[in-house]
Amino acid sequence: MKKAILVLHGPNLNLLGSREPKIYGRLTLAELDRKIKRYGQARGVSVECRQSNHEGELIDALQTASQKGFAAVVFNPGAFTHYSIALRDAVSAISLPVIEVHLSNVHAREEFRRRSVIAPAARGQISGFGLQSYLLGIDAALGALRSRRNSPGARR
């Protein structure tokens, strides 16, 4: 079966294209998703993209990702990054590798954005490269899956 990766976008990312374009660029979410899917296809992995403004829906998506056939998650938790312990617990609770990504460089912005409560539970964090953050996230997810195949005992 073909590998599948879930790309999960958190709150306010549905507004991409018009939301603070100096920070987040001019690509709409639909355009971003098309490019991410095309990138996945070229690497032999199918990619499904979902966005939600609701913490509980993001938790549900993480909890059900494995049973829906996804092998890894590329996750931009938006502002939840900085304070959602519930999302962090969901990332910790599942055995799939989760890669945290951000369009902007969260370390070069306001102080409160420097802290991610998700990052310690994620496989790693990629921040500051716009669309490229997601594409690097896909590559990181594929790398995590490859290394897991080589050492099946590893949890994530």
Angle at 95 between CA 122 and CA 99, to 5 degrees: 30
84-123 residues in contact with ligand DQA (CB under 6 A) are 102-104, 106, 113
Residue with smaller CB distance to ligand DQA, 51 or 104: 104
Counting contacts by CB under 6 A, is residue 132 touching ligand DQA? no
Which tokens hold the place of 130? Answer: 């716009």
Residue with smaller CB distance to ligand DQA, 73 or 148: 73
Counting contacts by CB under 6 A, is residue 125 touching ligand DQA? no
Nearest alpha carbon to residue 6 among 54, 75, 56: 75
The residue within the footprint of ligand DQA, chosen from 6, 37, 61, 81 (CB under 6 A), is 81
Torsion sign over Cα 62, 65, 71, 76: negative
Least distance in Å: CB of 78 to ligand DQA?
3
Counting contacts by CB under 6 A, is residue 137 touching ligand DQA? no
| Dist CA 17 CA 8 (whole Å) | 18
Determine whether 102 is an active site residue. Answer: yes
Determine whether 82 is an active site residue. Answer: no
Nearest alpha carbon to residue 100 among 34, 68, 144, 44: 144
Look up residue 57 and give its amino acid: E
| Dist CA 48 CA 50 (whole Å) | 7
Q: Who contacts 146 (Cβ-Cβ below 8 Å, separation ≥6)?
A: none
Residue with smaller CB distance to ligand DQA, 116 or 144: 116
Each residue 3-42 as x (binds ligand DQA by CB under 6 A) or -, in order, gives ---------x------------------------------
Summarize as ranges the residues that interact with ligand DQA (CB under 6 A): 12, 76, 78-79, 81, 102-104, 106, 113
Catalogue the active-site residues. 24, 102
